[in-house]
Amino acid sequence: MELNRYLDLSPEVTEALENGRPVVALESTIISHGMPYPQNVETALHVEEIIRENGAVPATCCVIGGRLKAGCTAEQIEYLGRTGAGVAKASRRDLATLVARGLDGATTVTTTMIIAHMAGIRVFATGGIGGVHRGAETTMDISADLEELAQTPVMVVCAGAKSILDLGLTLEYLETRGVPVLGYGTEELPAFYTRRSGFKVDYRVDSPEELARIFRTSAELGFRGGILVTNPIPEEYSMDPDVINKAIDDAVAEADALGIRGKATTPFLLAKIKDLTGGDSLDSNIRLVYNNAALAAKTAVCLANG
């Protein structure tokens, strides 16, 4: 496989891909912009441990010194976590400029999918994807994650779209762009902090083996887009819908009052919701990421085993 000249693979990821071993991509915006230090670094390193425990190799993605990375060192993860929002939040529109200027960037769902596909990594675990923001009918605030899912053949395992979004419109957008939304063990779209949203997924799937089979079949049919797997947060960590929804409503109202827009919106809302819930939302966020990492690793193993 001829790699993009701007892409670096860690030795562990290189060895795994060359030998057909399972690899799971991980984003880095969750480290720099999604959680406070030092929980962000602790969480990122533990997610990598979970992936290894389930038989796969982790590939945390980022941009360091203008180089696209698939597989970070512990020191690089520490740097991303400690620097936090001082690292650029890199979406598709940012990659060429960051690379050309030799800068650093934390990868979103979008850019992690791009790097994973460049590297030949087929499965990616994250917390929640971006989507259609509330009020998008006037602001046109729609995450690039949805477009990337429509054009890049990577399976994304998440706990649904972040519940700060308009979940109904997010599903409509994904349907329009031909992205299958699979519910792992559920027929209902998970809502990130909670297990239920009131919206139906396209299909329920009950095993990593079937997830792998669907992804393999999609590739064999020649479909170019990705597949979204929505994996509900474990019941014991699911938040009370009334509590979390009030916190979200209050956070969205404050963001509107402050005029916060674009890529600053999600980090602001997640931090505000953490404060409003006394840290409970952060605990739930961490647990759902662990849950997604385990499922992604199991699915990558099934894919590698053919």
Q: With beta carbons less than 8 A apart as the criterion, state whether 199 and 167 touch.
A: yes
CA distance 49 to 214: 27
pLDDT at residue number 217: 98
- Residue 40 tokens read as 């962000």
pLDDT at residue number 3: 63
pLDDT in tens, the chain (306 residues): 456 899 999 999 999 999 999 999 999 999 999 899 999 999 999 999 999 999 999 999 999 999 999 999 999 999 999 999 999 999 999 999 999 999 999 999 999 999 999 999 999 999 999 999 877 777 788 999 999 999 999 999 999 987 778 999 999 999 999 999 999 999 999 999 999 899 999 999 999 999 999 999 999 999 999 999 999 999 999 988 888 888 888 888 888 888 887 777 777 877 888 787 877 888 999 999 999 999 999 999 999 998
CA distance 240 to 222: 42
Strand 123-125 with 155-158, pairing: parallel
Strand 57-64 with 155-158, pairing: unpaired
pTM above 0.75, yes or no: yes
Tally Cβ neighbours within 10 Å of residue 237: 18
Domains of the chain and CATH, by start: 1-121 (3.40.1790.10), 125-301 (3.40.1790.10)
In the chain, how long is the greatest CA-to-CA distance? 53
The string of DSSP letters for 182-197 reads EEET-SB--BTTBS--
The catalytic residues are: 27, 162
